[in-house]
Chains A and B, each alone.
Chain A
Amino acid sequence: MIALLWRDLRLAMRAGGGFGLGLAFFLIVVVLVPLGVGPQTELLSRIAPGIFWIASLLAALLSLDRIFALDFDDGSLALLATSPLPLEGAALAKAIAHWITTGLPLTIVAPALGFLLALAPEAYKYLLMSLLLGTPALSMIGTFGAALTVGLRRGGLLLSLLVLPLYVPTLIYGAEAVRRGAQGLDASGALILLGVITAGCFAVLPFATAATLRINLR
């Protein structure tokens, strides 16, 4: 499982900007929003938590179809399925690799971009915590979505239609935690619920992902 994780990470690095692409996309979204809604600081600082969360959602979505597509095409997914490692473990490793290449860099960079959207100073801590707690769930849910659409030739658009509604609870709790933090309210409830969702996703979805992969490999 760890070997698989390393392999995926190395592939992401060498395939040209596995880390960079998602980050660049995130940066562009964050830059484009003020251009769209205008430069008023109070407006920006009010919508900043939502923008950060939506940008991370989209950045995670961007690289989902690569999770299984290449392995499915060249047959290594079939090899993985027959290997001694249970497919559930492979699904988990894939999700973690996806998180390390998209979610983790986003989490580290997002607070540095806070000043662009005039994020309230108190909110930085909560932004970091909520992204750290929430983005793994985004990767895991996305891995499930990618497994559903892996056999389809043009699955990209369908993938976003399937995955984005599943992102709703994560988005709500994540953005709410930052918003409450920015207003100086107690954000611990939202953060705990966010952690619960992430833990639940990692407990349940590897099995669902492995089941869908088996169906697709049949």
Chain B
Amino acid sequence: MSIWEYANPKKFMAWTAPVLPVVFGGAALCLIVGLVWGFFFTPDDYRQGSTVKIIYLHVPAAFFAINAWIMMLVASLIWVIRRHHVSALAARAAAPVGLTMTLIALFTGAIWGQPMWGTYWAWDPRLTSFLILFLFYLGYIALWEAIEDPDTAADLTSVLCMVGSIFAILSRYAVNFWNQGLHQGASLSLDKEENVSNVFWQPLVICIVGFGLLFIGLVLLRTRTEIRVRRMRALEARARRA
């Protein structure tokens, strides 16, 4: 199995049709198990009380808000280098999903911030860079919508995605320079002994897996829709010519 095979939309459609229910089923299972476990079967934090439980939505959403952009970058590169049509459509499909994940992370963060920091919003580097990421998503989606010719649109948005990635990283470090943070450090990282206490950690990982599957499922579903839209346009064009 190589990704080049799935440059053929027909093969892609045939392969994703049976995979999609499995992915969504897995996502639902993981999210239900993870969220129920997280919300009802973990103790309250000794300082944060029950508000700590928003971590099960906040951290996975933030994680995939960033990864969606990285996935878009990779998909754009594949499109630019090898003219992989499905890849370009997948990048387009991922953008609104990433935008939504960014919004979820910002909202849950605000809800948690009100009781804990005493404010919905602070100009903290992490919060600010997420807001900037949100703007990047908006620009990317707007550019896709604005251009009529699909290949030109795919090319231009790919270039924007690449340049945007550089500036997103620059902005991330620039806001660090500009203001010191209120936000706690990384919740999960591989090089530390213990980040979050184990009772919170296990359901959190399940939630992240669930969000990951949900993300993959949504992207595949939206890519399928894009392919169908493309086919419909081709049929319409053919009908007009006949």
Which one of A59-67, A110-118, A209-217 contacts B?
Answer: A209-217
Q: Which of B123-140 contact A (CB under 8 A)?
A: 132, 135-136, 138-139
CA distance A211 to B162 in the complex (A): 12
Which of the residues B135, B142, B147, B175 comes within 8 Å of A164, measured between beta carbons? B135
Q: In whole angstroms, how far apart are the Cα atoms of A161 and B145 in the complex?
A: 13
Question: Which residues on the B side are within 8 Å of A149 (C-beta)?
Answer: 143, 146
Chain B: CB-nearest residue to A144: B163
With A151-B152, A168-B167 in contact, is A173–B159 under 8 Å at CB? no
With known contacts A164-B135, A166-B164, A158–B174 Cβ distance under 8 A: no
Tell me if B174 and A169 are in contact (CB < 8 A).
yes
* Complex Cα–Cα for A172 and B174 (A): 7
A185 to B51, CA, bound (A): 40
Residues A165 and B174 in contact in the complex (CB < 8 Å), given A151-B147, A158-B143, A215-B159 = no
B156 & A212 in contact (Cβ 8 Å cutoff): yes
Whether A165 touches B139, Cβ cut-off 8 Å, given contacts A152-B146, A173-B177, is yes
A173 to B175, CA, bound (A): 9
By size class, the interface of chain B is: 20 to 34
Q: Which residues of B contact A151 (CB under 8 A)?
A: 147, 152
Give the number of residue pairs across the A-B interface with Cβ within 8 Å.
76
> Is A205 in contact with chain B by the CB < 8 A criterion?
yes
Q: A78 at interface (Cβ–Cβ under 8 A)?
A: no
For the complex of A and B, 8 pairs with smallest distance between CB atoms: A169-B174, A169-B170, A172-B174, A165-B135, A215-B155, A168-B171, A162-B139, A166-B167
A-B contacts besides A165-B171, A172-B171, 16 pairs, CB < 8 Å: A148-B143, A148-B156, A149-B146, A155-B146, A161-B135, A161-B138, A165-B132, A166-B167, A168-B170, A168-B174, A168-B175, A169-B171, A172-B174, A189-B177, A204-B163, A208-B162
14 CB contacts below 8 A, A to B, read A148-B159, A148-B160, A158-B139, A158-B146, A162-B139, A166-B164, A166-B167, A168-B174, A169-B167, A172-B175, A172-B178, A173-B174, A193-B174, A204-B166
**A interface vs B, CB < 8 Å?**
144, 148-149, 151-152, 155, 158, 161-162, 164-166, 168-169, 172-173, 176, 189-190, 193, 197, 204-205, 208, 211-212, 215-216, 218
